[in-house]
Structure 1
């Protein structure tokens, strides 16, 4: 195999295992090769396949880009599974009919075999149809049993498969010799020989054996004779030591194998039956151990707690790399379950934008569900508007925050593939960094728009009271315009510093009344946030309020798209910056008593998420 520098990959060797080699470009198999060519190219970066002639070979390209999309149906994009089996050869005999609870061995004897699954961490071949590899393995097993003088008549290997962790699996049946069943001593010694791995296996790497419960000890006891019982009593002490040693070794091997599986797949214990869907599909998010996060938060000390909500608590932590992070830890009975946890890590692992909070990683072990975010030091927009964070926001800074948030949403709606509907836009889900630039956060309720040809997504109604699109509420049809409505409420909060629902009054109705009752050119000054000063000095205020009211129209068809909202806010900022009364640069260092980030991830805000089905 070689890469000639022009992006093409040429085959030069026969029967090679070349998986996981970071090979990329176009595969060219040439025109001259052996008829029994077997090439394993799994898990590389091959994007195309040039066939100069009709080829006849075993070619495995699973895990390459060429096997995505329409290419997934090609025969080289599937892992071949053999239904064949291999049984140690013996002399021919006349088959008999066994009772339903027993199995016919190769010696034509009905017996109760000892069964289980062999898991190999590595293997040197790719053609699972070649039964010669079965024969090599079966012969090695029988040699090991006979050299240890075990009562084994024959073995049967079947159903070779390669699982999702690239382990090779065989179903193994071990038939007893002399009787139709094994006794407890026979099972223990056979298991000990298997897990000790003291015999060589050609073409196979290390393995572990997981056995099935043996069915037939009761029958074995009934047929036991006095001599066997006496012999078992005499040798009980030795056998006890042997069984304890075999059990300890087998337990150690299984535990080691399980640990290896969990390290390669943090979701090995994910349960799709607990209303959480399939295993999360991530793109680059780092998996943290519980011990790592416990250590970086000083055992989740209260002094490091920086926020709380229906989901649980959020802690500030410092990773071994000295990176500050915010760790969102679920608690038992939280309002956000496994499905929301899965949604958030899947979405945040695939989107990267300066106005969307970054996911550093996650933890899913020891019954814990934790999300690790970049640390956002200056809290939520709600805290900034209320004065709770100690930050004062002038008009130009509020316009900047509106623009940042709009850009984050526009990216999700128009540039993400597939598009994403946030479904819970509110002032507590917009965070402010150390320069007071805004980032959209909390994707637990978000939805992917898988089919962009459809104008809506039918879904269960969820959201937050005061921010929810009334059309979505009544029709249960979710669209990107539902986010636009919620963002319009946030724009009105930026102007008034009022909650969406305050003293039983809805902010949209309050602003409409103020506009209708306005008698001068300075507009809605009766409900304007007093910390902004005179409305006469707020350049672009009227256009800003008009944009917000367009976003909260009752019908989604009358609302602008987020891309249009971004352009409108940019125009308003140009208009406002022409007013000499405004400072265009502002950072958090300009103020004393600035927030230490104690509310940077307080997602609960003043309202709890509303799930109309009672979840």
Structure 2
């Protein structure tokens, strides 16, 4: 019999394993069938990877001597692709080199490069990667659905020079086996979910130049040779120039060994970690350092007096630690451009002598210290100075600017100092003196207001003199007046040598550099740079867009090339900008050529021997019986496990769906049609439950379809709960359930389409909607009214159980709609006022009383709502690196101070220079909601009434709807990472706008 006959029969058998033990059955089939075929075709048997050949429709002659790819490497790459649900479009056949698979580079029949950055891969990276012995470069960056652990088998790739897995979703630890790679020069793993310690074996990488693990959950001590028995650690990496470790949980002291004259280190970035102890005195030996970020740690002790040995240093960030002793001596640091040492308990000191002797300094940040003395000329006169942030110190005497100041100086902030008098001369920029004796005696009101003067509009690439261009809503206009789908994302510069954001030449240079590098890849239309701003990590975020030339979309290969341009750092930032992270926006669609028909790839049949034929037929017959039995058992088990039992739309079934009022039952074919076959172009979000798609009814009505993962019961109980809850509650501040579908093993919920995503996305900058104080009040009121309806007007009353910012959706007018009722519970009518139930919700929002007693009441929602109010106020996560927002705010509150002493907690986007009416009542309301005892918390109707009062104090009408549409909102377009909450989430907020964190 021919191989084609075997293959056809094989395919039919595999289909029998649609349920049940599919993996086990398929492996059995593959192993035996492939063994039989190998008997006649002489392909080596015994490899599990053989199943990939079968599933690809390959035949043994695919590995004939005519193929350009070496057989073992073709096997490895095909097996690798078998773990991805979204393979590149032309990965067909079994000859990657000969067929020129996209993203694959070959040399002498060996696979030497895999570059699939931004390719929308979905799955995991298998150990088969270790079977590509000639691989020199692996870049799988910006594939947010690429998860699982980094396989230790990468340690087999002895020729690997670059390993770039940035902004994916890898978990687990950094494999110690990476230390086996003698040629590795670049190891970049930023923005994943990696945990554990940095393996000491990294110290083996003698060729390493770039080590970046920023924005993970790495913990433990920094490895150095004295801390282990391996005599390995970071101090062995004398060739390395970049240690980028920011935004992790690294603890312990800063090792003295990494500062020595043999190290070539120029960037040491360990900001936002948990370092303790003192800065070692060996710091002064690292004379090649150009940037040092140790801010946002818990360092103590004095700064080493030899700090000023670092004469090449241009960036120094030591803020937000517990450093004591005298202010460090910076005399002679003539390259220093940016100095930040705020929020440290340094000893009280006089104005240091180096204040006016740093010839390159552009930015001086010394806030909340204990510096006293008079600021004598020419302290602000050295030419490069742009900003001086000096508030909350003890500067005294007279401030005299008549003697001169830098022509670039745009800000002098001396608020809350002891300045007695001021002579600003002709200085007309931002001079802030509120909280000084000068202002308390009625000084010049121009300088005594706490609110900053309006800033100039942020930079945006200027457009040509375009005629009126009406681009479709999902397209953008380029600076050259063309409509298309740009490649877009955000560059996050981890340091920068300037503070004058009004000097647009900096950002023009970024635009020029991107344009130059992109045009070296292929033709583009233009580049746009927009909206530079500072984020909470003191990074400078800049939005960029690259527009395709003479077409609507970039194709698959072009997206990969553009993504790789940023992941491998071939885009070089201009002078004045430090190293960057890049966070791409999901690309709407790729222009993909049609794949060849699988039939056209079939090779001539191979005639097997009699012995092999008999073996295969006998084995297949047995497997057919086995498959049928397994399928029946799996189907029965699945029906019993589903909360709806065996619902069926046909009349022949004994079980029917519930008789619900309102929601419509959609057929699978309906929703398939309305979502354009669930196309990726219509995908607007994803989470642990599944994906959400935008759907359009024939009349043009937009819907959101939440589709559970195929053949999975994850979220099944929540599916049932949400249908039943939303079928009987109707309120303008609750999301509306339009219908549902449970055909063909699917679980889908159909909601009204909410265009502006969720509150969390707006607070963190992902949605591009800037929320001012008034908009936040109105959103808080809408959410409160929705909850009050559930608690007091629904019969029986309903506790939501998962109130959080990602479950508050914002419609076209920014009206709040409470969503995601999968965890909701009805309170019984027995008069107890509570039910005892298993604790569920999201950590950080959970009511501690409910957590301890398991007794659920409406006051549990009130507690979560209090956390939501604090989130509205601060834009901070409820729990961030072990810091709980309730405890932090409660400890910092001082009602005798302006803003209750909460300046440092307020969201900078609010721009609250002056205290808005009702601010204190808002804070008081939030704190009353998070009282430890539920009895001391207000009801939701009381909460809603108090917010109405606060709105009236702010001159707002609580009964009026939002007066503006989202089209007029100012945009920040900041898709910076904000990780999903915890495993308690079943939906992950999946029916929001499609955005990518971090």
Q: Retained in 2: the 8 A contact 1:283–1:349?
A: yes
**Partner-residue secondary structure (3-state), 2:841:** strand
Contact 1:308 1:604 in 2 (8 A): no
Q: Which residue of 2 is the match for residue 395 of structure 1?
A: 773
SS of residue matched to 2:738? strand
Structure 1 residue 353 and structure 2 residue 746: aligned? no
2:981 to 603, 606, 609: 606
Secondary structure of the structure 2 residue equivalent to 1:573: helix
Shift of 1:461: 1.0
The offset of 1:608, in angstroms, is 3.4
The alpha-carbon distance between structure 1 residues 380 and 610, as it changes in their structure 2 partners (threshold 3 A), is: closer
What pairs with 1:466-485 in structure 2 (closer than 5 Å)? Answer: 466-485=844-863
Q: In the superposition, relative to structure 1, how do residues 562 and 592 fare at CA in structure 2: closer, same or farther (>3 Å)?
A: closer
Any conservation in 2 of the 1:472–1:478 contact (CA below 8 Å)? yes
Tell me, yes or no, if the aligned pair for 2:804 and 2:845 is still in contact at 8 Å. Answer: yes
Return closer, same or farther for 1:515/1:351 CA change in 2, 3 Å cut-off: same
Unaligned runs of 5+ in 2: 1-646, 987-998
The structure-2 alpha-carbon separation of the partners of 1:269 and 1:364, relative to structure 1 and needing over 3 Å to count, comes to: farther
Whether the 8 Å contact between 2:662 and 2:738 is mirrored in structure 1 is: no
* 8 A contact 2:849–2:933 mirrored in 1: yes
Change (3 A) 1:389 1:283: same
Q: Give the Cα–Cα distance (whole angstroms) in 1 for the partners of residues 931 and 698 of structure 2.
A: 49
1:441 aligns with 2:819: yes
Which residue number corresponds to residue 202 of structure 1?
none
Aligned counterparts of 2:715 and 2:955: Cα–Cα separation in 1: 45
Distance change (3 Å), C-alpha of 1:511 and 1:535: farther
Show the counterpart of 2:930: 552
Name 1:339's counterpart in structure 2. Answer: 717
1:508 to 886, 889, 894: 886
- Whether the 8 Å CA contact 1:311–1:335 is kept in 2: the answer is no
Change (3 A) 1:518 1:571: same
Q: Which residue of 1 aligns with 2:339?
A: none
Gaps of 5+ in 1: 1-260, 271-278
Q: 1:526-605 residue pairs with structure 2 within 5 A?
A: 526-534=904-912, 536-577=914-955, 585-591=963-969, 605=980
Instruction: Give the 3-state SS of the residue equivalent to 1:366 in structure 2.
Output: helix
The 1:520/1:592 distance shift into structure 2, 3 A limit, reads closer
TM-score normalised over the length of structure 2: 0.32
Report the alpha carbon displacement of residue 268 of structure 1 after superposing the two structures with TM.
5.9
Structure with higher Rg: it is: 1
Secondary structure at the aligned position of 1:464 is classed as coil
Q: Could you give the per-residue CA deviations for residues 316-347 of structure 1, whole angstroms, max 9, x where no partner exists?
A: 01022321000000015868432111100001
1:487 to 865, 871, 893: 865
Which structure 2 residues correspond to residues 67-216 of structure 1 after superposition, within 5 A? none
Deviations 1:215-273 (A, max 9, x none): xxxxxxxxxxxxxxxxxxxxxxxxxxxxxxxxxxxxxxxxxxxxxx9557799657xxx
For residues 483-512 of structure 1, give each alpha carbon's deviation from its aligned partner in whole angstroms, at most 9, with x where no partner exists. 000010000000001010112101101111
3-state secondary structure, aligned to 1:511: helix
Q: 1:521 to 1:505 in 2, by over 3 A?
A: closer
What does the per-residue CA deviation read over 1:363-420, in whole Å, with 9 as the maximum and x for residues that have no partner?
0110000000000000000001111100000101000000000000000000011111
| Structure with higher helix content | 1
Distance 2:826 2:653 in 1: 21
Q: Following the alignment from structure 2 to structure 1, what is the Cα–Cα distance between the partners of residues 736 and 851?
A: 30
What's the counterpart of residue 424 of structure 1?
A: 802
Q: Deviations over 1:274-311 (max 9, x none)?
A: xxxxx645222100000000111111111111111111
CA shift for structure 1 position 531:
1.2
Q: Which residue of 1 aligns with 2:95?
A: none
CA distance in 2, matches of 1:265, 1:544: 56
Whether the aligned pair in 2 keeps the contact of 1:362 and 1:371 (CA below 8 Å) is yes
Q: Deviations over 1:148-201 (max 9, x none)?
A: xxxxxxxxxxxxxxxxxxxxxxxxxxxxxxxxxxxxxxxxxxxxxxxxxxxxxx
Structure 2: distance between partners of 1:604 and 1:447: 27
Query: Alpha-carbon deviation of 1:536?
Result: 2.7
Question: CA separation in 2, counterparts of 1:415 and 1:578?
Answer: 26
Displacement after TM superposition at 1:362 (Å)? 0.1
2:839 to 461, 466, 488: 461
The number of equivalent residue pairs is 337
Instruction: Find the counterpart in structure 2 of residue 220 from structure 1.
Output: none
Corresponding residue for 1:377?
755
Give, in whole Å, the separation in 2 of the partners of 1:266 and 1:419. Answer: 37
Cα deviation, 1:112-137, whole Å, max 9, x if unaligned, reads xxxxxxxxxxxxxxxxxxxxxxxxxx
Between the aligned partners of 1:298 and 1:266, the Cα distance in structure 2 is 31
Q: Secondary structure at the match of 1:327?
A: strand
Residue in 2 that maps onto 1:12: none
The whole-number CA distance in structure 1 between the counterparts of 2:653 and 2:699 is: 25
**Contact 1:312–1:334 (CA under 8 A) maintained in structure 2:** no
> Does the aligned pair in 1 maintain the 2:660–2:724 contact within 8 Å?
yes
**Cα distance in 1 between the residues matched to 2:696 and 2:972:** 21
Separation (CA, whole Å) in 1 of partners of 2:653 and 2:865: 35
Q: Name the Cα RMSD after superposition.
A: 3.0
Alignment check: 8 A CA contact 2:840 2:984 kept: yes
1:497 equivalenced with 2:872 (yes/no) = no
1:286 paired residue number: 664
Tell me the equivalent position of 1:222: none
- Change over 3 Å in CA distance of 1:477–1:322 after alignment to 2: same
SS, match of residue 536 in structure 1: coil
Partner of 1:231: none
Q: What are the equivalent positions in structure 2 for 1:2-13 lying under 5 Å apart?
A: none
Name the CA shift for 1:544/1:315 in 2 (closer, same or farther; >3 Å): same
* Counterpart secondary structure, 1:451: coil
Query: For the residues of structure 2 that align with 1:316 and 1:380, how far apart are their CA atoms?
Result: 15
Contact 1:266–1:365 (CA under 8 A) maintained in structure 2: no
Matched, 1:412 2:787: no
User: How far off its partner does 1:570 sit?
Assistant: 0.3
Distance 1:409 1:557 in 2: 18
Alpha-carbon displacement from aligned partner over 1:5-30 (angstroms, at most 9, x marks no partner): xxxxxxxxxxxxxxxxxxxxxxxxxx
Please report how far the alpha carbon of residue 576 of structure 1 lies from its aligned counterpart in structure 2 after TM superposition.
1.4
CA contact 1:514–1:527 (8 Å) conserved in 2: no
